[in-house]
């Protein structure tokens, strides 16, 4: 019985504190390539890839960041041939699959930025998952017009953390 208790404690510690390469790992989720574009506007967006290594689905249900008054989950939907952005309640992360937050798709909308986001800087965002709980990720700001997470940021500026 004592061995079982020690093994359970070791497993809990390993799952709760594991990290993986460019991303963070909390429970069965890995967040990688978190980025945003430089902006002068009062609003911005954050993008990333969330992979679910587990056997049960999870959902990204909220996010917050000190750089924005509000962070909302958004997606684009075609209506009468016009793409429109709309708020969504959650982003599903199915077992063994990735949820990609990207330009033109689901993303985190940063509303009411406290200041402009500048290329090369990094800012924190806390993701709230239905099952995994809160996960803090650092967002790497790319140049205006960037279409994805740059190789430069992968090589030298990986700044991802997790919180319990």
Residue partners of 126: CB distance under 8 A and separation at least 6: 63, 64, 65, 134, 135, 136, 137, 163
- Token pair, residue 94, equals 């199915």
Per-residue pLDDT for the chain (164 aa), expressed as one digit of tens each? 444 443 433 333 334 433 333 455 566 899 999 999 999 889 999 999 999 999 999 999 999 999 999 999 999 877 788 878 899 999 999 999 999 999 999 999 999 999 999 999 999 999 999 999 999 999 999 987 665 566 444 444 444 444 44
Q: Does residue 130 form part of some domain?
A: yes
Residue 67 contacts residue 77 (beta carbons within 8 Å)? no
What is the domain count for the chain?
Answer: 1
Q: Does residue 25 form part of some domain?
A: yes
- CATH number, domain containing residue 57: 2.60.40.1890
- For the chain, helix, strand, coil in percent to 5 are 15, 50, 35
Residue 19 contacts residue 31 (beta carbons within 8 Å)? no
Q: Does residue 162 form part of some domain?
A: no
| pLDDT tens column, 91-104 | 999 999 999 999 99
Range of the domain at 106: 2-156
């Amino acid at each position: 019985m004592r061995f079982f208790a020690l093994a359970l404690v070791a497993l809990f510690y390993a799952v709760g504190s594991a990290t993986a390469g460019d991303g963070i790992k909390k429970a069965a989720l890995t967040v990688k390539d978190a980025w945003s574009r430089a902006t002068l506007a009062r609003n911005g967006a954050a993008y990333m890839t969330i992979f679910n290594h587990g056997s049960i689905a999870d959902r990204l249900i909220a996010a917050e960041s000190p750089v924005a008054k509000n962070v909302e989950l958004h997606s684009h939907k075609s209506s009468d041939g016009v793409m429109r952005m709309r708020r969504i309640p959650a982003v599903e992360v199915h077992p063994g699959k990735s949820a990609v937050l990207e330009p033109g798709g689901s993303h985190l909308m940063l509303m009411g930025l406290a200041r402009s986001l500048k290329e090369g800087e990094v800012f924190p965002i806390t993701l709230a998952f239905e099952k995994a709980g809160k996960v803090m990720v650092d967002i790497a700001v790319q140049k205006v017009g960037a279409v994805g997470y740059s190789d430069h940021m992968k090589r030298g500026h990986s700044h991802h953390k997790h919180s319990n």
